[in-house]
């Protein structure tokens, strides 16, 4: 089976539409953070409060700046493209600017966009399309080593943690590959597999194909999706956990998040040691020796003093390395991972 591979022409314009908050702008924010050299501007509707710190552009500005691809940087609930975005997207396509999106709504299924792209000579790239030949999971243990990011909820830093850990392993000249499982990761890495677009019966098989047999000292760093705690997205998380057969997991959490997002407060997030125990119990169904290598926590809303105290207390309580993947880095987790991996 071949992975989903994309090649988007830079420079990029990040399209934010009427995105209400940074939480839903995670695609644009992720690309701007991890591939800043490719991003030259942003485009927003008047009601959009989200600002990625890039120059604001009109269609004419984007043409003048040599933009080659407008990337839809929003991940709305359900992955749909709202009608209010279509006039601007059509103008971009008619101006010859390619459009890329990782949503469940396909660009190529929207007649107005297809017509505008045809007239402008632009391409429409749908990232969230899995390959057609995915097999069911077999549960066969594979050579090589794997570490999977698992989360207390959606959008708590699983992608950032995986990319930061991958970068740390690369810095040590360790053989490693970042394995993208969502649209943003695929746009950043250029390849991967959109796990949440796979038919449910084949999710574990897709995870197996994403991290195939490899050298004994090679590490696949696998981006997680959803959360076992989230009543909407737990299915994709469990399939990815079983199919990845990780040697280790890293729990990812947002320090400000007390309950599962967008569920009306009905699902508080348990203590982190309970979350780790539940994840390990599931992981050990297909990888009996799986262990937790640490906790990666988004503390971006804390000051340095508060963050250091928070991480220190969490580390003392859990007996595991606790870091912020951006503010403090993944060195302690990498050390723990390499020391205890069998």
Environment class of residue 4 by beta-carbon count within 10 Å: exposed (0-12), middle (13-18) or buried (19+)? buried
What pLDDT does 265 receive?
74
Please tell me whether residues 214 and 328 are part of one structural domain. Answer: yes
Please tell me whether residues 97 and 188 are part of one structural domain. Answer: no
What pLDDT does 2 receive?
76
Number of domains in the chain: 2
What pLDDT does 1 receive?
61
Residue 54 included in any domain: yes
**Residue 33 pLDDT greater than 70, yes or no:** yes
Can you give the CATH number for the domain in which 18 is found? Answer: 3.40.50.720
Please tell me whether residues 118 and 49 are part of one structural domain. Answer: yes
* Residue 286 pLDDT class (50, 70, 90 cuts): very high
Please tell me whether residues 113 and 205 are part of one structural domain. Answer: no
Structure tokens given for 243:
């199919």
- pLDDT of 206-265, one tens digit each? 999 999 999 999 999 999 999 999 999 999 999 999 999 999 999 999 999 999 987 777
Q: Are the beta carbons of 81 and 66 closer than 8 angstroms?
A: no
Nearest residue to 132 via CA among 211, 236, 205: 205
Residue 133 included in any domain: no
Please tell me whether residues 150 and 83 are part of one structural domain. Answer: no
Residue 140 included in any domain: no
Please tell me whether residues 122 and 159 are part of one structural domain. Answer: no
Query: How many C-beta neighbours within 10 Å does residue 171 have?
Result: 12
Q: Which domain holds residue 150?
A: 145-340
SS3 243: helix
Please tell me whether residues 103 and 201 are part of one structural domain. Answer: no
Question: pTM for the complete prediction?
Answer: 0.93
Residue 135 included in any domain: no
User: Of 126, 155, 173, which residue constitutes the final position of a domain?
Assistant: 126
Please tell me whether residues 203 and 54 are part of one structural domain. Answer: no
- Residue owning tokens 């994709």: 236
Please tell me whether residues 294 and 211 are part of one structural domain. Answer: yes
Residue 137 included in any domain: no
What pLDDT does 23 receive?
83
- The conformation of residue 303, written as its DSSP 8-state character, comes to -
- pLDDT of 171-184, one tens digit each? 999 999 999 999 99
Residue 172 included in any domain: yes
Residue 290 included in any domain: yes
Q: Provide the pairing of β-strand 145-151 with 176-179.
A: unpaired
CA dist., res. 123 & res. 117, Å (int): 6
- pLDDT of 96-111, one tens digit each? 999 999 998 999 999 9
Residue 224 included in any domain: yes
Q: Which helix (H) or strand (E) holds 248?
A: strand 248-254
Please tell me whether residues 161 and 288 are part of one structural domain. Answer: yes
* Residue 188 pLDDT class (50, 70, 90 cuts): very high
Q: Are the beta carbons of 236 and 195 closer than 8 angstroms?
A: yes
Please tell me whether residues 246 and 161 are part of one structural domain. Answer: yes
The CA-based dihedral angle spanning residues 34, 192, 275, 264, taken in that order and rounded to the nearest 10 degrees: 80
Please tell me whether residues 181 and 245 are part of one structural domain. Answer: yes
What pLDDT does 243 receive?
97
Structure tokens given for 203:
């999710």
């Amino acid at each position: 089976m071949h992975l989903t591979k994309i090649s988007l022409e830079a420079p990029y314009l990040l399209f934010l539409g009427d995105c209400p908050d940074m939480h839903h702008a995670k695609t644009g924010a992720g690309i701007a953070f991890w591939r800043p050299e490719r991003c030259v501007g942003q485009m927003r509707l008047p009601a959009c409060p989200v600002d990625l710190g890039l120059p604001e552009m009109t269609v004419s500005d984007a043409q003048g700046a040599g933009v080659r691809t407008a990337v839809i940087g929003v991940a709305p609930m359900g992955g749909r493209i709202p009608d209010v975005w279509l006039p601007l997207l059509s103008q971009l396509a008619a101006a010859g600017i390619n459009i890329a999106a990782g949503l469940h709504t396909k660009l190529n299924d929207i007649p107005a966009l297809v017509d505008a792209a045809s007239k402008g000579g632009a391409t429409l790239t749908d990232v969230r399309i899995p390959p057609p030949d995915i097999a069911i999971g077999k549960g066969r243990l594979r050579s090589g080593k794997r570490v999977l990011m698992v989360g207390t909820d959606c959008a708590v830093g699983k992608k950032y943690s995986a990319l930061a850990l991958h970068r740390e392993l690369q810095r040590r000249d360790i053989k490693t590959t970042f394995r993208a499982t969502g649209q943003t990761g695929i746009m950043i890495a250029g390849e991967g597999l959109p796990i949440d677009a796979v038919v449910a019966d084949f999710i574990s098989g897709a995870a197996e194909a994403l991290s195939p047999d490899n050298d004994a000292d090679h590490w696949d760093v696998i981006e997680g999706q959803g959360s076992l705690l989230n009543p909407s997205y737990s299915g994709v998380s469990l399939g990815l956990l079983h199919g990845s057969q990780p040697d280790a997991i890293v729990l990812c959490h947002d320090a400000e998040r007390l309950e599962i997002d967008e569920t009306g407060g009905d699902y508080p997030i348990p203590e982190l040691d309970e979350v780790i125990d539940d994840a390990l119990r599931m992981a050990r169904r297909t990888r009996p020796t799986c262990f937790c290598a640490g906790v990666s926590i988004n503390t971006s809303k804390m000051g340095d003093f508060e963050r250091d105290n928070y991480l220190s207390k969490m580390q003392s309580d859990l007996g595991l390395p606790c870091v912020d993947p951006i503010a403090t880095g993944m060195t302690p987790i990498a050390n723990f991972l390499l020391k205890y991996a069998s």
